[in-house]
């Protein structure tokens, strides 16, 4: 991922918050030179610098037969930025852009299909996501019909050894521009746009400017 220095984040706590807000990732693999892509909810675990993502595919998914290197893309909030809100829009001939937060997690895939491990994974995933919406469905391993459903999936762990975090939030602009964009995004109706404004105040306002760095 092209990441100018001004946009690079090396604090894994920022990754924690990013994936906690949206644990639905894009998983990319290759087989015989052809990319395979799946969009999946995952469990995220981090202990220091050690990161693991866990999830599952439908058994017929061709990606479930891929092994080796893989890339998980974590999608953060994003927003269109109009040059009309910059105080220096005329003098600096500003143009439109897009502010966003994203992370690329590279690592090695390990697949599994034993019933106990799959049951534990489904139970953990459902517990995490049911809690988000105030529901209480749970996997019940003592039920034959629940266990039979496990035959239709393949589980995976992605052991991450490379984490690239990019927060493109206007760090290459003067402070006045960053503040103006954050205020504009705060006034918009979409929660993701207000989330970008919050990230800008946290990460971009303290940053020095470097007008040579772009998208």
Tens-level pLDDT at each residue, the chain (215 residues): 999 999 999 999 999 999 999 999 999 999 888 899 999 999 999 999 999 999 999 999 999 998 899 999 999 999 999 999 999 998 889 999 999 999 999 999 999 999 999 999 999 999 999 999 999 999 999 999 999 999 999 999 999 999 999 999 999 999 999 999 999 999 999 999 999 999 999 999 876 444 445 55
* SS3 state at 108: strand
* pLDDT at residue number 207: 60
* pLDDT at residue number 101: 98
* pLDDT at residue number 208: 45
pTM confidence score: 0.91
CATH class of domain segment(s) 5-203:
mainly beta
- In the chain, which ranges are continuous DSSP H helix? 12-21, 115-132, 144-149, 175-186, 191-199
Q: Round to whole Å and give the CA distance between 22 and 92.
A: 36
* pLDDT at residue number 181: 97
**169 neighbors 101 (Cβ within 8 angstroms):** yes
Number of Cβ atoms within 10 Å of the Cβ of 148? 10
Number of Cβ atoms within 10 Å of the Cβ of 202? 13
For 8, what's the count of Cα atoms within 13 Å in the CB-facing half-sphere? Answer: 9
* pLDDT at residue number 77: 97
* pLDDT at residue number 212: 45
């Amino acid at each position: 991922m092209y990441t100018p220095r001004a946009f690079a984040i090396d604090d894994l706590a920022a990754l924690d918050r990013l994936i906690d807000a949206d644990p639905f990732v894009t998983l990319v693999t290759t087989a015989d030179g052809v990319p395979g892509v799946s969009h999946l909810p995952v469990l995220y675990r981090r202990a220091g610098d050690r990161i693991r993502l866990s999830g599952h595919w439908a058994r017929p998914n061709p990606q479930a037969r891929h092994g080796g290197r893989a890339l998980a893309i974590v999608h953060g909030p994003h927003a269109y930025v109009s040059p009309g809100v910059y105080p220096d829009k005329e003098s600096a001939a500003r143009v439109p852009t897009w502010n966003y937060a994203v992370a690329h997690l590279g690592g090695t895939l390990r697949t599994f299909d034993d019933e106990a491990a799959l049951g534990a994974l489904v139970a953990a995933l459902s517990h995490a996501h049911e809690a988000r919406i105030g529901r209480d469905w749970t996997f019940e391993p003592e039920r034959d019909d629940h266990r039979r459903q496990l035959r239709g999936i393949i589980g995976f762990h992605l052991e991450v050894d490379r984490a690239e975090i990019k927060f493109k939030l206007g760090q290459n602009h003067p402070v006045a521009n960053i503040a103006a964009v954050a205020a504009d995004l705060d006034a918009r109706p979409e929660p993701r746009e207000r989330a970008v404004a919050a990230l800008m105040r946290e990460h971009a306002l303290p940053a020095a400017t470097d007008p040579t760095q772009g998208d």
